[in-house]
Structure 1
Amino acid sequence: MLYRILLPLFVVVHLWLLTSAAVQANEAVMSPTYAGKPLVDGLPLQALFPKATRFGDKEADLPVYAAYQLDELLGYAWLSDEINNLAGFAGKPIRLLIGLKPDGSFQDVTVIDHHEPVFLHGLGNQSMHEFLAQYRNRSVRNQIIVGSAQNSQLSSQSDGGASGTVVFDGVTKATISVMIINDVVLSTALQVARARLEGFALPTQSRLLEKPIISQSWDALANNNLIHQWTLSQTEVEESLGRSLNSYPEFSNTTAPNTPFITLAYAYLNAPQVGVNLLGEARYKALMDRLTPGDHLLWVGSSGLYPHAEENYTPATVPSRLSLDQGGLSVEIRDINAPSEFNDIITPGAPRFSTAHFLRIKGSAGFDPGSPVDLKLHVNLARNHLISDSATFLSHYQLPDSEWEPVQIDTAKPLPLWIKLWMDRWVSVCILLIGLTVLIVSFIKQDRLSRWKHFHAFRWGYLAFTLFFIGFYAQGQLSVVNIFTLFHSIKDGFDITIFLLDPVIFILWVVTFISLFIWGRGLFCGWLCPFGALQEMSSWLGKKIGLKQIRVPATLHRRLIYLKYPIIGGLVAVSFYSLTWAEKLSEVEPFKTSITLVFIRHWPFVLYAVGLLIVGMFIHKFYCRYLCPLGAGLAAIGWLRRFELLKRVDFCGSPCQTCHHRCEIKAIKKSGEIDYNECVQCLECIVILNDEEQCVDKLLTRKKQKKAAASQRIPSVQIHQPS
C-alpha cells in the first residue's frame, strides 16, 4: 500500500528537516563584525566603539557605559532591556547593544540575544543585522519611520542631517518584530540623550490661555502672528538648487516667471482665537472633537508651482514634503483626513489655496505650543529617472505670547506600542472582524446554510479568504509557538501586552479559544487555519487530476490520530528546558515556510512543506489529522466542550453509513457518532442530512410516503354473494 511508503518517507524527511533547522538556527545571533572582540562586563563594547581607550563602569542612576578616547567622550553604550524590557513577539525581550555619540547620532545597534522565530528559524539573523545597520549615524533627533523599500527613498529627501524624517526599509514578514526593535531603540536612546547629552532636555511646557474670542480678518491674524505666511520665489529655489527650474521636466513648460514657487500659510489651530476665526465655531468644535485629548493640530495651506503635498499624496499619512522640528527634535505631523467641508476658510480676506491639510501632532510627541518651531519644506526635483536635486527651506514660527502662559506639567506618556500597532492595522482588523462575524453567524445558522444550493461555493470562498487574506496578507497563522509564549508568560508573570502586539493573532486566538467550548477545534481547523485551507485545496487538486485517493485503514487511522498529542506534549516540555530548542523543533509545523515566508526559504524547509501538501493530495488533510501539534492542543481544550451541535438522526450509523463513508477526515464513526476532537466542522454531513437525494432517512421516509399514497389510490372491490 502507498501509505506504507509515504509514512516512513515522511519520518526521514522530518528528521532531515530538524537537522537543517538546528544548523540554520545555530547561526551566530551577534553580527560577525562584533564576534571575537575583547569584552567589557561580557559585552563587546570595544567593537561598538573601536577608538575607545577606556570605558567607565556601569552608572548607577542610568545603566549606561561611557566610552572615552583618553579624556574625550566618544559616547554611551547600554543594553536595551536594562532600560526598556519590552517583550518581543516571542514573549522575551530582544536584547540590543546600542551606542550613542555625544551629538545624538547612533554609533551602532547590534543584537546580543533574541528569540524571534521569524529571524531564528525563517529569514535568518542576517536580515535583522541589515535592519539594525540602518541606525548607524542616524540621529535620535530624526523621525524614524519603519516602512517599505519603496518608501525608504523618502529618506533621501530629508535634510540628511541632525533632524528630519527618515524611512527605514522594514523586513517583510517581520513587521511586528522590527517595529518593536524601533520602539525600543528610539525610546531608550531618547531617555539616554535627555539624561546625558547637552541640548536634549525637554522644553518648558506651556498652556493656552482662556480668553474671549475676537473676530479678525486674515490680515489681522497675520499681522498678530496668529497665522504665518511664507512665500518662496522661483529665483530663491533656483539659487539653492544651482540650476534653472526649466532644467526639470515638471517645470519645463512654466511660462509665468513671477508666479511664486510656493506660497504657504500655516497656523496652530488649538488656539481658539485662530481656529474659530479660520473655521467658524461649529466646525472648529467638531474638528477638535476628532482629536484625542492632548493632541495638537496644524492647518497648512499652499498654492503656487510646488504645493506642500504631491498630486498622489495619500490622505492620513505623513507628508513627505513637510517636516516639523522643535528644540532640535523632529515632531511627527500626520494628516487627519478631515472631510472636505472643513477645508473652506471663512476668514474675511483669506486668499485661496490650491492645497490644504489638517496635520495632527500626537500628545505623546511632547510638543510645546509656546516654544519656537521650524517648519521645513523639502524640495526634490527629478532631472531624469536617475538624477534628482534636493533642497530644504526653513520657516521659523512661534505662537505669540498673548495666547499662552508657561507652566510646568508632566510630559505626556507615549502611546504603548501595542496601541500604535492596532492603529496601524485597523483596516486589517476591521476586515477580519467582518469575516469572523460572517463565519460565526453561519455556524449558528448552519442548518439553514447547509440547505443553501450555493453552500459549497460559500465554503470555498471562505477558505480562499482564510488563505489569501488571513494567511498571506494579514499573517494570521496561529502556531504552537504561541502556546509556548502563553505558558512562559504565565510562569514569568502574565502580561497581556505581549499578546496584544499582533492584533490579528490576538483576535483569532480569542475567537478560537471561545469556539473550543462551543464547537470544538473545528471552527479554527476547518475554516480559519490558512495551512488547513491550503491542504484542502491540494486535496481538491489531487482529485481533480485523477490521483488515486488513499483510504488509511480504520485501525491504523485510530492509532495515528494520537501521534500529534505526544508531539505537542514534547514541544511544551522542551520549551521549559530550552525555549531555543523548542522553537527549532516546532518546525514540525510547516506554517512559517508556507504561510509566513510563502515558500521563500532554505530548500529543506520548502521540500518538507511541499511534501506534506503532496501527501495531502493522496490522503485528505494528512498533516491536520496525524501530525499537527496545534490541532492537538486545541482538541485537548475542546474536550471541555459541552455541546454537540452537528445534527444526527436515528438512522445515522444504523443502518445508514453514508456520512461515515463520505467524511474525508474520518471523524464520523460507524456508530454514527461524531468525534469532535477530530472533526473540522466542514458541515458536509449536515448537507447530506438535509439533502432529499442523499440522506437514507429522508429517502426511506419519502418511499413510505409514496407507498402510503399509492395504497390510498387503489379502488376497493365489492364482492356480491348470490342470493
Structure 2
Amino acid sequence: MTRCARFLLRVLVLLSALASPTLFAQVPEAQIQQLFPKATRIEPKQADPPVQSVYQLDELLGYAFESTDYSNLQGFSGKPIRLLIGLDTRGVLTGVTVLEHHEPVFLHGLGEQTLYDFVDQYRQVSVGKPIVVGSRTAAGSAGDSVTLLDGVSKATVSVVILNETVLLSALSVARKLLEGFASGPLATPRADLHESLDWAQLLARGLLQHWTITRSELESALGGTLDDYPEIDPEYDSQPFSELYFAYLNAPMIGRNLLGDEGFARLNEELKANEQALLVLSSGMYRHVPDDFVPATVPARLVLMQNDHAIELHDMNFNNGAVKDQLNIPVGMSMEGFEANIFRIKTHNAFNPAEPAGLRLNVRLQRNHLVESSTQLTRGFQLDPYLFETADPLVVVDPAPIWLRMWHERWWQISLLGASLILLTGVFIWQHRISRNSRGFHLFRAGFLMFTLVFIGLYAQGQLSVVNIFTLLLALWNDFDIRVFLMDPVIFILWSFTFISLLIWGRGVFCGWLCPFGALQEMLGWAAKGLRIPQWKISDRSHHRLQWVKYLILIGLVPTAFFSLTLAERLAEVEPFKTSMTLFFLRSWPFVLYALILLGLGLFVHKFYCRYVCPLGAGLAILGKFRLFSWLERIDACGQPCQHCKHQCEIGAIKRDGRIDYDECIQCLECIVILNNEGQCVASISARKKAARAARSAEGELIVTDATQPRTSEAL
C-alpha cells in the first residue's frame, strides 16, 4: 500500500469515527463525578429510564442522564443542545454540563464561556417549581413560586430552548424515579375487602407465592455444574438451591392474614403515602440476602420487575428478626433456616400491583478470586385485580409550547414589525403615487432604513443570515419541524415576508429595505456624500465579474453545511452580521476589523458588501428568478438614448439598454422617483422642451401670418 493510500485510509477511518453515533454514546465518568463530587460508585446506564445511578458507598445520591434521551427539542441552529444533567434524590439539580451544541451565537459570537456561565445557574435549583429565564416581569406574578435565571443578552432564543430542554429532561426523570413527583399507584388496595385465609388458602389463591429453584435449574441457567463453585457446600445437594415465599402486603386480604391486625396496622404507620410493601422469605443454599446484608439498604440479589423495568426494593428494617414469629403459618410448619424481610416499594417507581410483575433473583457465584459467574432467574406473578380499586392515571398537563410562549412575550415587537411590513407593502403597491413627491419619498425611505437598523437589527435581532438557509435545508433534508423556525417570531415573520416578496417582486424588497446591515451601509453612503469622499469608479466589466464572488461563496457554504454544520457556521463568518448587529462590535479584534474593513469599503464603493460578497443576497437572487413580475416600469427612452437612471443607480443594477437587472436590484425605487418626476426624467424634460419649442414655433408662425395679412379699410 502506498503512502498516499495509507493516508487516505486513515482519513476515512477518522471520518467514520467522527460520524459514528457511538462516539457520543458514553459520557466519561469524570464528567458525572463533577456533578456528584461525593460519588464512589457510578452504575452503568440503564434502559428505562435511561439514567446512570450514582452512589456514595451504598447510599443513592441521584441520577445522571443525557437530555437527548428525553427531549428532541432543536436549538436555534436546528440541532439539539446535548446536555449532561445531574439530579439528586430530592429533585434538586446538582449541575448541568454542555456536552455538544451548535448555537452560532455562542460558537462564533459571545463565546462558549457565556453559555457555561448560564448553565452554572442550575446548580442546586429544584425542579419542583417552574424555572424561568429572564426578569421578574417574564415570570409574571408568580413571585417566589418560580426560580428565576438570568438570561443572556443577544441569545434569548438559545437559552430559552436550553432551559426548556433541562426542564423536560429533569421532570421526565423525576416523575419516574423520585418521590413527590410521580402520581400514586394506578391501583390501590380495597380497604374494605378482607376475609380470613390461612397459609394454604393464600397459596392456593396466588396471594402468597412459593418459588423453589432447584440445583439442576440453576446449573442449566449457568451452563455448568455447581461443583465448580467452592462456596456451594456439597452437603446441601439434597436441598433446593433457593426456596422463596413472597407476598404483596398492602392488600388487607394478604397483609392482615400474614401479619395479623396489629402487625398490619404498624406496617401502614411506617409506610409513607402511596408506598407499598413486599414480604420475602427464603432459605436454601442461596437466600435472597447474604449473611452480611446491612439492614435498611437495597439488596443486590433481589429486584422487582414490571414492564421490563427494574424496581429497587428498600429494606424497611421492620423488626426483621420477629417477622417470622408474626406470620400466621400452619401448625407443624417451621420457618427455621428462613431469612425474612419486608421491603419498601417507593412511590416514584409507580409500581402497579394489579398488573403482571415478577420477582428477580440475581445469582452471582465465585468460581475463584478472578472468575465469577452470574445469571438471573425471574418468577412472574399477577394478583387478582378484584383486590384493587383502579383509577385513571393522572394527566400531566404539558405547558404551552415554547414557541407559543415566545410569541406571547414578544407580542408588541410582532405588532410593530407587522405594521411596518404592511406599510412597506403599501409603498410598493402605490409606488407611482408616492414617488411623485421626491423629497417626501426620500425622507420616508431614510426613516424606514433607520427603523430597520435600530429596531429590526439592533433591538429585535432580526438580521437574516445565510445560516438560516443552512437550518432550512438541513430541516428539509432530515425531519422538518416548523417549531424550530417559530422559536424566534421576528426572524420567522421576516423570512415569511421575504419569501412571499421574492415570488412577487424579487430579492430587492429585503435587501433594499429590511436588511439592517444593508441599511447601515446605505447610511454610510449618505455620510460619504456629505463628506464628499471620492467614489471609486468600477467598470461595467469588472462590476459584472465581481458580482460572481458572492455566488461562489454561497456554492462553497451550502454543501459544507451537509458535511459539517459547525464548519459551515464558522465559514459563514464571511457575513459581518453577527459582529455588527448581534454583538454590536463587542467581539475579538479580527472579527471587528473585518467588519470595519467592509464598512470602510462602503465609503468608497456604494454598498460594497451587498454587491460583491453577501452569500445571503446571492441565495435570495437565485430564488428571486422565480418571481411573478418584472414590475419596475420602463419607457421607450430608457437606455435609448436616456442613461440618467443608469448613472443614478448606485447599486449598478440598470443595464446600458435601460433594462433592470433584477438579480442585483435592491428596489430602492430611485428609478421610479426619477421616472415620475418631470424635473428629473430626461424623457419628460426632453418632451417638455419639444413641446415648448413647438409652442414657440407655432406662436412665431402666428405672428408672421399676422404681419403678412392685408389691412382693411376699417383697420385703417
Q: Normalising to structure 1: TM-score of the pair? A: 0.64
Q: 1:540 to 1:679 in 2, by over 3 A?
A: same
Match of 2:223 in 1: none
1:41-440 matched pairs, under 5 angstroms: 44-148=31-135, 164-202=145-183, 410-440=395-425
Distance (Å, rounded) in 2 between the aligned partners of 1:204 and 1:465: 58
The amino acid that maps onto 1:413 is: D
Greater RCO, CA 8 A, separation 6+? 1
Distance (Å, rounded) in 2 between the aligned partners of 1:602 and 1:464: 27
Q: 1:40 to 1:51 in 2, by over 3 A?
A: farther
Match of 2:596 in 1: 610
Match of 2:654 in 1: 668
Q: Is the 8 A contact 2:97 2:119 kept in 1?
A: yes
- From 486, 501, 509, give the equivalent of 1:515: 501
SS at match of 2:548: coil
- Structure 1 residues not aligned, in runs of 5+: 1-38, 206-405
- From 611, 623, 630, give the equivalent of 1:625: 611
Q: 1:564 to 1:708 in 2, by over 3 A?
A: same
Distance (Å, rounded) in 2 between the aligned partners of 1:665 and 1:40: 54
**2:454 paired with 1:457:** no
Runs of 4+ in 1 over 6 A off after TM superposition: 150-155
Q: Is the 8 A contact 1:480 1:586 kept in 2?
A: yes
Per-residue CA deviation, residues 361-381 of structure 1 (Å, 9 max, x unaligned), is: xxxxxxxxxxxxxxxxxxxxx
Q: Is the 8 A contact 1:151 1:167 kept in 2?
A: no
The amino acid that maps onto 1:123 is: L
**2:534 paired with 1:548:** yes
Distance (Å, rounded) in 1 between the aligned partners of 2:570 and 2:686: 56
Give the Å deviation of 1:51: 1.9
**2:490 paired with 1:504:** yes
**2:655 paired with 1:655:** no
Q: 1:438 to 1:42 in 2, by over 3 A?
A: farther
Per-residue CA deviation, residues 389-412 of structure 1 (Å, 9 max, x unaligned), is: xxxxxxxxxxxxxxxxx9866332
Match of 2:344 in 1: none
- Structure 2 residues not aligned, in runs of 5+: 1-25, 187-390, 712-716
The amino acid that maps onto 2:400 is: L
- Computed over aligned residues only, the root mean square deviation of the Cα atoms, in angstroms, reads 2.3
- From 581, 584, 600, give the equivalent of 2:567: 581
The amino acid that maps onto 2:477 is: K
The amino acid that maps onto 2:433 is: R
Judge which range, 475-484 or 487-496, deviates more. Answer: 487-496
SS at match of 1:674: coil
Distance (Å, rounded) in 2 between the aligned partners of 1:615 and 1:448: 35
Q: Is the 8 A contact 2:29 2:42 kept in 1?
A: no
Q: Is the 8 A contact 2:511 2:617 kept in 1?
A: yes
Distance (Å, rounded) in 2 between the aligned partners of 1:604 and 1:41: 35
Question: How many residues were matched structurally?
Answer: 477
Match of 1:691 in 2: 677
Give the Å deviation of 1:720: 6.2
Give the Å deviation of 1:584: 0.4
Match of 2:480 in 1: 494
Match of 2:580 in 1: 594
Give the Å deviation of 1:705: 1.8
Q: 1:573 to 1:607 in 2, by over 3 A?
A: same
Give the Å deviation of 1:70: 1.3
Q: Is the 8 A contact 2:132 2:139 kept in 1?
A: no
Give the Å deviation of 1:47: 2.6
Match of 1:447 in 2: 432
1:451-490 matched pairs, under 5 angstroms: 451-452=436-437, 453-490=439-476
Q: Is the 8 A contact 1:651 1:697 kept in 2?
A: yes
Distance (Å, rounded) in 2 between the aligned partners of 1:707 and 1:655: 20
**2:679 paired with 1:679:** no
Per-residue CA deviation, residues 499-541 of structure 1 (Å, 9 max, x unaligned), is: 1111110110111011112111100000000000000011111
Distance (Å, rounded) in 1 between the aligned partners of 2:596 and 2:58: 61
Q: Is the 8 A contact 2:81 2:101 kept in 1?
A: yes
Distance (Å, rounded) in 1 between the aligned partners of 2:133 and 2:710: 103
Give the Å deviation of 1:48: 2.3
Give the Å deviation of 1:466: 0.4
Q: Is the 8 A contact 1:151 1:169 kept in 2?
A: no
Match of 2:708 in 1: 718
Distance (Å, rounded) in 1 between the aligned partners of 2:709 and 2:435: 53
**2:625 paired with 1:644:** no
The amino acid that maps onto 2:69 is: E
Distance (Å, rounded) in 1 between the aligned partners of 2:45 and 2:426: 59
SS at match of 1:68: strand
The amino acid that maps onto 1:102 is: T
SS at match of 2:535: coil
Give the Å deviation of 1:701: 1.4
- From 511, 519, 536, give the equivalent of 2:522: 536
Q: Is the 8 A contact 1:152 1:166 kept in 2?
A: no
Give the Å deviation of 1:151: 7.5
Q: Is the 8 A contact 2:139 2:146 kept in 1?
A: no
Give the Å deviation of 1:158: 7.2
Q: 1:512 to 1:153 in 2, by over 3 A?
A: closer
Q: Normalising to structure 2: TM-score of the pair? A: 0.64
Give the Å deviation of 1:704: 2.1
Distance (Å, rounded) in 2 between the aligned partners of 1:472 and 1:575: 27
SS at match of 2:165: helix
Percent identity reads 56
SS at match of 1:517: helix
